[in-house]
């Protein structure tokens, strides 16, 4: 495996671990309420701006992944979509780049 692919894989793992650590920690203290987390995401203008920034990036990544998967017939790369929305762009983007950079048969 190339150094670039190893880098993408490492970023995928870090991009999964860090957000998950903070989300689980917050949920453990504040309760497992999606409504409470949504309220926290919009606690002020800075967090709302970040939420919208990441949401738009996630949608753009999703459109790109679907377009590329269709053209390349690389259906495994679609795994980046649930990774993006269940963990975050910090997981989905490097995962897609890792999958995209592998040789196809």
* Domain extent at residue 66: 3-100
Domains contained in the chain, number: 1
The whole model's pTM is what? 0.91
For 64, the token pair is 């790109």
What is the mean predicted confidence (pLDDT) over 71-93?
97
Average pLDDT over residues 14-38: 93
83: left (phi over 0), alpha (psi -120 to 50) or beta: alpha
- pLDDT band per the 50, 70, 90 thresholds, residue 103: confident
Q: What number of other Cβ atoms are within 10 A of residue 45's Cβ?
A: 8
Tell whether the model's pLDDT for residue 83 goes beyond 90. Answer: yes
Say if 14 falls within a structural domain: yes
Q: Helices (H), strands (E): how many in the chain?
A: 5, 0
Given this model, what pLDDT does residue 104 score? 75
Which residues are within 8 A (CB) of 99 and not within 5 positions of it... i.e. 6 or more apart?
74, 76, 77, 79, 80
Position 105 in a domain: no
Q: Is residue 43 part of a domain?
A: yes
The answer to the question of residue 85 being in a domain is: yes
């Amino acid at each position: 495996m190339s150094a670039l692919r190893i880098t993408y894989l490492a970023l995928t793992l870090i991009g999964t671990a860090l957000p998950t650590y903070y989300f689980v920690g917050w949920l453990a203290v504040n309760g497992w309420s999606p409504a409470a987390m949504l309220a926290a995401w919009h606690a002020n203008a800075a967090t709302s701006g970040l939420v919208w920034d990441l949401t738009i990036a996630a949608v753009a990544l999703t459109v790109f992944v679907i377009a590329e998967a269709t053209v390349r017939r690389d259906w495994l790369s679609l795994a980046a979509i649930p990774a993006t929305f269940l963990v975050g762009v910090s997981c989905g983007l490097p995962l897609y780049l890792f999958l995209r950079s592998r040789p196809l048969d």
